[in-house]
Structure 1
Amino acid sequence: MLEGRSFLVSRTLPSSLEQENKWTYTTCRVGAEVSNGKRPFELDLEEEGGLRKASKVSDHEENLPRAQFDRLSLTLAAPIDHAYNQRQSSDQADTSSLIPPIGRDLTINCLLQCSRADYGSLASLNRSFRSLIKSGEMYRIRQQNKVIEHWVYFSCRLLEWVAFDPVTQRWMQLPRMNSNECFMCSDKESLAVGTELLVFGKDLMSHVIYNYSILTNSWSSGMSMNSPRCLFGSASLGEIAIFAGGCDSQGNILSSAELYDSEKQTWVTLPSMSKPRKMCSGVFMDGKFYVIGGIGGSSGRALSCGEEFDLKTRTWKEIPHMSPGNHGSSPGNGMPSPAEAPPLVAVVNNELYAADYADMEVKKYSKETRVWITVGRLPERAGSMNGWGLAFRACGERVIVIGGPRGQGEGIIEVNSWVPSEGPPEWRLLGRKQCGSFVYNCAVMGC
């Protein structure tokens, strides 16, 4: 990412463009940090020429001839002016090469250095830029080049979602979900896969899935699993996701599983687990999918085992003692607390961590000994109700904890970050927002 460097220069968008794409900004400054009271993407203009030159160059920029990179800034400015002032003629122009003077490939290589927060503005330049972004092609190119940004999406109010970029520490409001009261009040699960945020819930007599696309900045519905369910364990790996266990519409606990491909928009039934379970969690680790903990069997007992699914052999293997447990919240007879949340787990660099919300501790799973080891504390103000209302997620190289103080009436949510590779948990407060202190749903999108 080009930190703190001007890459595109734009002018205030006409209201028609702002209405078409709420993700547009008046300026596009790549990766700018918040400093001196300025927001990211604010831009200072030089008196002469109206363009601010980059004070430094990144490793990627250094690979470009200086004159060529300067020409890139100028050629980018011209299409922006053209798009803002004469949008109709711009849409009709032949712009298949995006920026003709430097060619399509070099243009795309430069766009890879932009944060995806800039892509709404880029889509406003002309038809080819719009197609590149909204078709998902740019995200496929990013994935091929291993350019990934992890954003956190969460909901603290019914039907309302916000996104948070932990790098720029910028908040973004998503459009409000358009659903009926039944779905609004039902229990919901969420998962991000590819460029989609999926929210699962109930609508009158059936399960329903709402899909938020970052390509269109809009919600849609109509998708359906092969075996609709709720209270399942799930996780995503790039553009695929696996869903296992849960309950059907009659309340039966399931052992079945299925895979969703966000590129093909297809659901594929997988072999069933050895044990039915609900209220479980799912993660990907070492290229395999794991289901951890939950409640299983007719007696509704808590399961301490996990199950591992090998995508290559398409087989399940039971892993004993994989559930982290929360010994402070269970009656002690193997029966879970009625209000106990599924295990709060996260995988960073193929290492498994868990939040023990009873003792406010962070634990790490030893793959060799298959035991959980306490490595530190959770953020002190990250309260929960038996694990509910607290988000514990992997976000790239970080573990993210989202929660707020309970019982103080503050209505504040805080985003805390810890990088495990740097040592024991030392939490850094990344952001604070007045939106309630209970997290209903949370997902991390990496694309």
Structure 2
Amino acid sequence: MLEGRSCLISRPLPNSCEQESNWAFMPCRRIEVSNGKRHLEGEGEEELRQRKLSKSSDASQIEETTRQLQNLSQPSEDQFDCELHRGDQSDSNSLNQPICHNISMNCPLDIRQREVMSKNLHDFSSSPADQSNESGSRQRHGNQSDLDSLIQPIGRDISINCLLFCSRSDYGSLASLNRSFRSLIRSGELYKERRKKGLIEHWVYFSCHLLEWEAFDPIRRRWMHLPRMPANECFMWADKESLAVGTELLVFGKEVTSQVIYRYSILTNSWSSGLEMNAPRCLFGSASLGEIAILAGGSESQGRVLSSAELYNSETGTWETLPSMKKARRMCSGVFMDGKFYVIGGISDDAEALSSGEEYDLKSRSWREIPNMYPIQNGANGGTAPPLVAVVQNQLYAADCAENEVKKYIKESNSWVTVGRLPERAVSMNGWGLAFRACGSQLIVIGGPRALAGGIVELNSWSPNEGPPQWELLASKHSPNFVYNCAVMGC
């Protein structure tokens, strides 16, 4: 009945490389059934074989494509600091033929796309004189397609889908290939798409020196130095906090009557001044969820304890004032759990140690107080460090430095149970100098023994779903100081 007419059919690519279905118009042909198999009229055995081959691509092919991209260049620790800015100024045709060939042959494409790619690869292998003539022709006609295609033989969209599966450790190297890659990396587009697909890598950022920060990649176990922070006395003598949100690291410093915020961007590998909060504060509780973060409580420049809260959006760089908490508190801690923001512990405006917590519902924009949520008073009782808490897989854990234990929060009974010990060499001064953070599906503890000549900073990790704590030493290094600040960035 439909013979000779046109209709719309779906030709999906493998999910590992292209998530959306591609649609194409083609004339309908009569379907014949023989030996239990259906055939389109005029379709030969060779065409059937090719159709089957095109559908057999699976996730292993995208893994090979990713491997080829990762092998373009493996940066050393020193290279990391400058690769993002170097950026070869050539166009996309600077990609050599072996790279294009390896990526194109391993990316799951259908037969039609492979034929187009083969033609493009043939163009790449033409003589230098031919390439020069072709380049001149393109310039005369103002053709800018080479700047948009990234890996030209497979096109921009598939290029981006392949790049999503590369480790973000490789993005600095990729940004140095040419202007197209550099522009893509610095735009942040890859990180937005990675978040949509749940492709998130967590790096640890911490400071053991007043103006110096380091990053640690727990997957490749690599140390990386960030550019030095701009000099400012407020970071030399006053309390400061840090927070990782989206693709930014925020560092907060307190001056006499105001606050200073410095923002480090992984897209540009540089520091800049951040936009001041609506109600500047220090010693607050904070946590991030994707591209947003919430800061609550703390104290103002004159020392008054605050109950106010604000939401920061790293995509727009703006602050939004939220409803105030039930109680004013400073030196508290914040976490996200089950899609809600929690403030835990702290000290009230009359210097009373607080064991309560508060839950903020982003949908209803309201706070709910939770009495006796944090009876572990290793920090609050002594008026020292805020509670050391972290959430992994929507489960809340706390480090009890007084007992050198790890405890887990039981939501149903609003109580805590001991699950095991902290690393033996994770020492602190009443909770100060020790970092206790969630890093993806693992808990990490950063700290180490001290000596007269300095000390050691160790990074230990444990996956809570694997029984009692069995801490794995990821890395260690000599440091003259404690860990001043620590944040984990997932993107």
Q: What TM-score results when the alignment is normalised by the length of structure 2? A: 0.74
SS at match of 1:225: coil
Q: Quote the Cα distance in structure 2 between the aligned partners of 1:433 and 1:279.
A: 29
Q: Quote the Cα distance in structure 2 between the aligned partners of 1:232 and 1:378.
A: 25
Question: What amino acid maps onto 1:172 in structure 2?
Answer: M
Q: Quote the Cα distance in structure 1 between the aligned partners of 2:82 and 2:209.
A: 25
SS at match of 1:160: coil
- Within the candidate set 431, 440, 443, 2:475 is matched to 431
- Within the candidate set 357, 376, 383, 1:325 is matched to 376
Q: How far did residue 434 of structure 1 move?
A: 1.9
Question: What amino acid maps onto 1:337 in structure 2?
Answer: G
Question: Deviations for 1:107-161, whole angstroms, at most 9, x for unmatched residues?
Answer: 1111011111111121122222112110111111111111100000000111110
Question: What amino acid maps onto 2:382 in structure 1?
Answer: S
SS at match of 1:223: coil
Structure 1 residues 8 and 291, CA gap change in structure 2 (3 angstroms):
closer
Q: Quote the Cα distance in structure 1 between the aligned partners of 2:323 and 2:73.
A: 55
Q: How far did residue 24 of structure 1 move?
A: 7.5
- Within the candidate set 264, 270, 291, 1:218 is matched to 270
Alignment-derived partner of residue 459 in structure 2: 415
Is 2:354 the counterpart of 1:303?
yes
Question: Deviations for 1:166-211, whole angstroms, at most 9, x for unmatched residues?
Answer: 1111111000101222332221100000000000012353211000
Alignment-derived partner of residue 360 in structure 1: 404
- Within the candidate set 122, 142, 150, 2:174 is matched to 122
- Within the candidate set 83, 98, 108, 1:21 is matched to 83
Alignment-derived partner of residue 337 in structure 1: 382
Q: Is 1:404–1:437's contact at 8 Å kept on the other side of the alignment?
A: no
Question: What amino acid maps onto 2:344 in structure 1?
Answer: I
Segments of 5+ residues of structure 1 without an aligned counterpart are: 26-48, 331-335
Alignment-derived partner of residue 276 in structure 1: 328
Segments of 5+ residues of structure 2 without an aligned counterpart are: 1-61, 88-96
Alignment-derived partner of residue 237 in structure 2: 185
Question: Deviations for 1:211-253, whole angstroms, at most 9, x for unmatched residues?
Answer: 0000000011141000000000000000000000000010000
Q: Quote the Cα distance in structure 1 between the aligned partners of 2:85 and 2:336.
A: 31
Structure 1 residues 312 and 376, CA gap change in structure 2 (3 angstroms):
same
Is 2:217 the counterpart of 1:173?
no
Is 2:223 the counterpart of 1:161?
no
Q: How far did residue 323 of structure 1 move?
A: 1.3
Q: How far did residue 433 of structure 1 move?
A: 1.6
**RMSD, aligned CA:** 3.4
Structure 1 residues 200 and 2, CA gap change in structure 2 (3 angstroms):
farther
Question: What amino acid maps onto 1:309 in structure 2?
Answer: Y
Q: How far did residue 419 of structure 1 move?
A: 0.3
Report the more deviating stretch, 184-193 or 236-245. 184-193
- Within the candidate set 299, 305, 327, 1:247 is matched to 299
Question: Deviations for 1:244-290, whole angstroms, at most 9, x for unmatched residues?
Answer: 00000100000000100000111000000010000000000000000
Question: What amino acid maps onto 2:484 in structure 1?
Answer: Y
Is 2:358 the counterpart of 1:313?
no
> Any residues of structure 2 matched to 1:67-82 within 5 Å, and which?
none
SS at match of 1:302: coil
Q: Quote the Cα distance in structure 2 between the aligned partners of 1:158 and 1:272.
A: 32
Question: What amino acid maps onto 2:223 in structure 1?
Answer: W
Alignment-derived partner of residue 105 in structure 1: 157
- Within the candidate set 448, 464, 467, 1:404 is matched to 448
Question: What amino acid maps onto 1:138 in structure 2?
Answer: L
Structure 1 residues 18 and 381, CA gap change in structure 2 (3 angstroms):
closer
Q: How far did residue 65 of structure 1 move?
A: 7.0
SS at match of 1:234: strand
Q: Quote the Cα distance in structure 1 between the aligned partners of 2:362 and 2:74.
A: 49
Alignment-derived partner of residue 40 in structure 1: none
Q: Quote the Cα distance in structure 1 between the aligned partners of 2:159 and 2:424.
A: 46
Q: Quote the Cα distance in structure 2 between the aligned partners of 1:378 and 1:23.
A: 41
Is 2:305 the counterpart of 1:257?
no
Question: What amino acid maps onto 1:307 in structure 2?
Answer: E
Question: What amino acid maps onto 2:238 in structure 1?
Answer: S
Alignment-derived partner of residue 490 in structure 2: 446
Structure 1 residues 22 and 100, CA gap change in structure 2 (3 angstroms):
closer
Q: Quote the Cα distance in structure 2 between the aligned partners of 1:389 and 1:18.
A: 27
Q: Quote the Cα distance in structure 2 between the aligned partners of 1:409 and 1:388.
A: 19
Structure 1 residues 158 and 245, CA gap change in structure 2 (3 angstroms):
same
Q: Quote the Cα distance in structure 2 between the aligned partners of 1:321 and 1:389.
A: 26
Q: What TM-score results when the alignment is normalised by the length of structure 1? A: 0.81
Q: Is 2:285–2:332's contact at 8 Å kept on the other side of the alignment?
A: yes
Question: What amino acid maps onto 1:192 in structure 2?
Answer: A
Q: Is 2:420–2:468's contact at 8 Å kept on the other side of the alignment?
A: yes
Q: How far did residue 23 of structure 1 move?
A: 7.8
Question: Deviations for 1:334-370, whole angstroms, at most 9, x for unmatched residues?
Answer: xx314x2000000000000000011100000000111
Q: Quote the Cα distance in structure 1 between the aligned partners of 2:85 and 2:465.
A: 33
SS at match of 1:442: strand
Q: Quote the Cα distance in structure 2 between the aligned partners of 1:441 and 1:232.
A: 14
Residues matched between the structures, number: 398
Q: Is 2:81–2:226's contact at 8 Å kept on the other side of the alignment?
A: no
Q: Is 2:85–2:268's contact at 8 Å kept on the other side of the alignment?
A: no
Structure 1 residues 6 and 128, CA gap change in structure 2 (3 angstroms):
closer
Q: Quote the Cα distance in structure 2 between the aligned partners of 1:401 and 1:12.
A: 28
Report the more deviating stretch, 102-111 or 200-209. 200-209
Question: What amino acid maps onto 2:336 in structure 1?
Answer: F
SS at match of 1:295: coil
Q: Quote the Cα distance in structure 2 between the aligned partners of 1:95 and 1:295.
A: 56
Alignment-derived partner of residue 255 in structure 2: 203
Structure 1 residues 11 and 151, CA gap change in structure 2 (3 angstroms):
closer
Q: How far did residue 9 of structure 1 move?
A: 4.6
Q: Quote the Cα distance in structure 2 between the aligned partners of 1:177 and 1:98.
A: 33
Alignment-derived partner of residue 69 in structure 2: 7
Identity over aligned residues, as a percent?
Answer: 64
SS at match of 2:244: strand
Q: Is 2:84–2:268's contact at 8 Å kept on the other side of the alignment?
A: no
Structure 1 residues 2 and 166, CA gap change in structure 2 (3 angstroms):
farther
